[in-house]
Chains A and B, each alone.
Chain A
Amino acid sequence: MTTPHPLETRVVSRRFDQPDAHTLAGYLASDGFRALEKALAMAPDKVIEEVKASGLRGRGGAGFPTGLKWSFVPKQSPREKYVLCNADESEPGTCKDRLILEYDPFAIIEGMLICGHAIGAHRGYIYIRGEYRYLLDRMEQALAEARAAGYVGKNIRGSGFDFELHAHTGAGAYECGEESALMESLEGKRGIPRLKPPFPAVSGFMGGPTVINNVETLASIPPILLNGGAWFAAFGPPKNGGTRLFCLSGHVERQGVWELPLGFPLRKLIEDLGGGMRNGAKLKAVVPGGSSTPLLPGNVAWDLNLDFDSVAKVGSFLGSGGVVVVDENTCMVRFALRIMQFYRHESCGWCVPCREGTQWLQTSLTRFHNGGGRAADVDLMKEVSENILGRTFCALGDAAAMPTLSILQHWRQEFLDHLAGKPCPFGARTTAGAVGAH
Chain B
Amino acid sequence: MSPFSPQLEARFRELMQRYPARRSALVPMLLYAQDELGWLTPAAVQRIAELLAETELAVREVIGYYSMLRTEPTGKYHVQVCTNISCLLRGGDELYAHCERRLGVGHKQTAADGVFSLEEVECIGACSWAPAVQVNYDFHQELTVEQLDKILDAYAARARGERTDS
Contact = CB atoms under 8 A, between A and B. Distances in A.
The answer to whether A and B touch in the complex, with CB atoms under 8 Å apart, is: yes
A330 interface: yes
A262 B148 CA distance: 37
A91 B127 CA distance: 10
A248 B23 contact: no
A129 B24 contact: no
A110 to B, nearest CB: 20
B62 A189 contact: yes
Interface string A124-164: 00000111111000000000000000000000000000000
B110 interface: no
A170 B28 CA distance: 7
A169 interface: yes
Given A131-B68, A188-B62, A249 B128 contact: yes
A92 B86 contact: yes
A324 B67 contact: no
Given A435-B121, A437-B108, A249 B127 contact: yes
B34 to A, nearest CB: 9
Given A346-B122, A348-B65, A251 B83 contact: no
Contact of B128 (A134, A251, A256, A291): A256
A435 B134 contact: no
A269 to B, nearest CB: 12
Interface in A367-414: none
Interface stretch (A6-14, A334-342, A352-360): A334-342
A129 B125 contact: yes
B123 A90 contact: yes
Contacts of A206: 20-21
A257 B128 contact: yes
B128 A190 contact: no
Nearest to B80: A131
Contacts of B65: 173, 190-191, 348
Contacts of A185: 27
B126 interface: yes
Contact of B66 (A95, A173, A434): A173
What band does the interface of chain B fall in when counting residues whose beta carbon is under 8 Å from A? 35 or more
A338 to B, nearest CB: 5
Contacts of B142: 255
Contact of B30 (A80, A171, A187, A250): A171
A348 B30 CA distance: 19
A129 B46 CA distance: 25
A93 B66 contact: no
Nearest to B30: A171
A194 interface: no
A287 B106 CA distance: 30
Contacts of B21: 187-188, 206
A273 B129 CA distance: 15
Contact of B27 (A171, A345, A348): A171
Contacts of A348: 65
A18 to B, nearest CB: 20
Given A91-B123, A249-B89, A170 B27 contact: yes
A174 interface: yes
**Pairs of residues from A and B, 7 with the lowest C-beta to C-beta distance, nearest first:** A188-B26, A172-B68, A171-B66, A172-B67, A188-B23, A249-B86, A434-B107
Given A188-B24, A256-B128, 11 more contacts: A91-B123, A131-B125, A133-B137, A170-B27, A247-B127, A324-B89, A335-B85, A338-B85, A342-B123, A431-B97, A435-B120
